[in-house]
Amino acid sequence: MSDQSERAVVCGGGGFIGGHLVKSLLAQGVNVVRAVDIKPLNEWYQVTPGVENLVLDLQDRNNCLTAAEGVNSVYQLAADMGGIGFIENHKALCMLSVLTTTHMLMAARDKGVERFFYSSSACVYNGGKQDRPDVPALKEEDAYPAMPEDGYGWEKLFSERMCRHFTEDYGFITRVARYHNVYGPNGTFEGGREKAPAAICRKVIEAIQTGHQQIEIWGDGNQTRSFMYIDDCVMGSRMIMESDIEQPINLGSSELVSINQLVDIVEDIAGIKLTRTYNLGAPKGVRGRNSDNTLIAEKLRWEPSISLRDGLEKTYRWIFDTMQTHAPVERVKYVA
């Protein structure tokens, strides 16, 4: 499918990744027919002119039929999700996202869609392979035998299988990318759904603004992750959608860091050194998780490559500027 012939809908288009994806697709010459999100339009992270922006709950099958009308490709990013604090405390909400993907697949089938992209997650991986900070990078086959993140991870893994079987039974193309911790400007940095890079940036900025030279870290700070900058995410998503890769594939950086090292980088960007306290009772997820990029490098001759330092520099500056004029949101409190 050429860029000029593609007519796309981005589900979750009012979200962080979805908003960036809409703009990226348009820049590549794709006709983004519409963006759909459950949030009121004034709560969308980005609203792009020239696109039909619809406020619809895609858990409802009829709304999915509306979303899929007149398009030949679907980017299904819509989900109820957030950082580790959210997904550990809202497992039922996360599981309900299976309705959105199931109904969008049904709508895509019924409306003659040619290609369907699904944004999965590294949370599908077997927890037994993520039990230490120096964990080996996760290969795609490490999702089985299945023992994913409770709630959110199970929903993602089930939806991956749904995509596979819709391809087998109904013949349209599905592509699945397993996102690894996406961050960047125009994302969530407060309110309880934020992920670690944005949360750390916000906490450092708050310490500067208040003069309280300390920062609370969830867990002992030795847990490890890799973090992918948003530009790499949208580029990789597009490349995977266009590819002949039939299996779920990692889309993430292979630059492994501890949360303590993440704080080090943000402190250096801010030009400050803070006293650290550790909340051992807070949500902290698995001990270690990294992306093995062997397969994506082999298939696409590409892998996410924007360094964490460069990405955090841009993210920090955006959060800093936003917080100057942005009223703080009441954040979810987790009791140790």
Q: What is the pLDDT of residues 241-254, one digit of tens each?
A: 999 999 999 999 99
Query: How many other C-beta atoms are found inside a 10 Å radius of the C-beta of residue 49?
Result: 6
Does residue 197 have a cis bond before it (omega within 30 degrees)?
A: no
Contact, 236 vs 296, CB < 8 A?
A: yes
Chain-centroid distance of CA 219 in Å reads 22
Q: Are strands 256-258 and 224-226 parallel, antiparallel or unpaired?
A: antiparallel
CA atoms of 117 and 119, how far apart (whole Å)? 7
Q: What is the DSSP letter of 187?
A: S
Closest CA to 57 of 23, 100, 13, 88: 100
Question: In degrees rounded to 5, what are phi and psi of residue 284?
Answer: -145, -10
- Residues that are catalytic: 152
DSSP-derived 3-state class of residue 31: strand
Contact, 164 vs 174, CB < 8 A?
A: yes
Sequence letter at residue 121:
S
Contact, 3 vs 29, CB < 8 A?
A: yes
Tokens of 315: 């993210």
Q: Would you call 167 exposed, middle or buried from its count of C-beta atoms within 10 A (0-12, 13-18, 19+)?
A: middle
Predicted local distance difference test score (pLDDT) of residue 2 = 63
Q: Residue 116 pairs with which residues in a beta bridge?
A: 74, 174
Q: What is the mean pLDDT of each run of 10 residues along the chain (336 residues)?
A: 84 97 96 97 95 98 98 96 87 95 98 97 95 94 96 97 97 97 94 92 96 95 97 98 98 97 98 96 92 98 97 97 72 38
The per-residue b/e assignment along 238-263, b for 16 or more CB within 10 angstroms, e otherwise, is bbbbbeebeebbbbbbbbbbbbbebb
CA atoms of 59 and 93, how far apart (whole Å)? 12
Predicted local distance difference test score (pLDDT) of residue 336 = 29
CA atoms of 121 and 139, how far apart (whole Å)? 13
Chain-centroid distance of CA 229 in Å reads 10
Sequence letter at residue 232:
D
Q: Under 8 Å CB-to-CB from 115, ≥6 apart: which residues?
A: 1, 72, 73, 74, 172, 173, 174, 175, 241
Query: How many other C-beta atoms are found inside a 10 Å radius of the C-beta of residue 1?
Result: 15
Q: What is the DSSP letter of 143?
A: G
DSSP conformation letters of 234-293: HHHHHHHHHS---S-EEES---EEEHHHHHHHHHHHHT---EEEEETTS----SB--B--
Torsion of CA 260, 261, 266, 271, to 10 degrees: 100
Tell me the per-residue pLDDT of 185-213, one tens digit each, with 9 for 90 and over.
Answer: 999 999 888 999 999 999 999 999 999 99
